Chains A and B, each alone.
Chain A
Amino acid sequence: MEVKLLNVIDKKIYTDDGSFLKKIECPKNISASDLNSQPDNKLFCNQCEKSIIDAQAISEDNLVKALKEDKNTCVKISRLNPMFRFVQ
């Protein structure tokens, strides 16, 4: 399967064709202890009391689709995730 990289530049996520998806920035500056696992591979944020997407449990296509549908969707991404290219 072809892997499409998502670029993260200055906290902004772009698709590989350069389309802006969303800025990843948490105003509450949450830590790992604020996130609880849910059975559907999502995470529950105790600060905002809402579900967020865990990018390690979703395909690139589904992540792009979800973010295009709603830019206010929160997502957790790891610097270890090969789906993302972090541009300094």
Chain B
Amino acid sequence: MSGVQIDNLVKGQNLRAVKTLREKNYNKYSLSAEDRNKNHLVTKTIEPNEEFFSRMILLKNYKTGELKEVKDRHMFVQYGEHITYSENEWEELLTYRIYQGSKSQLYTWAMYLVPKDAKEGERFYMEDVIDDIVAERFWDGIYRAQDGVGIWNGHSIEIDTKLYDRVFMVG
């Protein structure tokens, strides 16, 4: 599952790592008695995040019959500045929504294995963030956080979303 990784940003902080177990990888051997005894099993269902939905348009060229899937009739193109699909040349066949998060994982479950000796407020390196969290928007893409830092609040893990602000630089 691809996404934005921030491991370089937290290297050197000596955070303990929290493992994730996903339904797709689960079998009767994947969680040992030791895993169960030594960890809080923070279990979640994976629901879609509205921020990962994008509207798409399916266009058909009147002359050539070519089909194009675009986000807008006016789009930025990397080295060619802008491109326009005019209403005179392109017929709108339909609009639809796509999900740019981890679509194949939706409505499955996953769990974090958080050490039972975790102290409230302790920060952990999360190797595989369960929820779809927006780490960066770039061109027309929405990129989810692949890893991150989670804070133990005594009963669950809260992902430190401020860290993803450092995926970009300003100055």
Contacts and interface: CB of A to CB of B under 8 A. Distances in A.
A24 B167 contact: no
Interface stretch (B28-36, B43-51, B135-143): B135-143
B171 interface: yes
Interface core residue of B162, B168, B171 (most chain A CB under 10 Å): B171
Contacts, number: 55
Chain B residues touching A, range = 10 to 19
Contacts of B117: none
A35 B137 CA distance: 13
Contacts of A3: 79
Given A31-B165, A59-B81, A88-B8, A52 B136 contact: no
Interface residues of A, number: 28
Q: Decide if the interface of chain B is mainly helix, strand, loop or mixed.
A: strand
A20 B75 CA distance: 32
Contact of A80 (B79, B81, B143, B162): B143
B93 interface: no
Interface of A: 1, 3, 8, 11, 22-26, 30-32, 35, 41, 45, 52, 56-57, 59, 74-81, 88
6 contacts: A30-B170, A75-B171, A78-B136, A79-B136, A79-B167, A80-B167
Interface of B: 4, 8, 76, 79, 81, 136, 138-139, 141, 143, 162, 165, 167-171
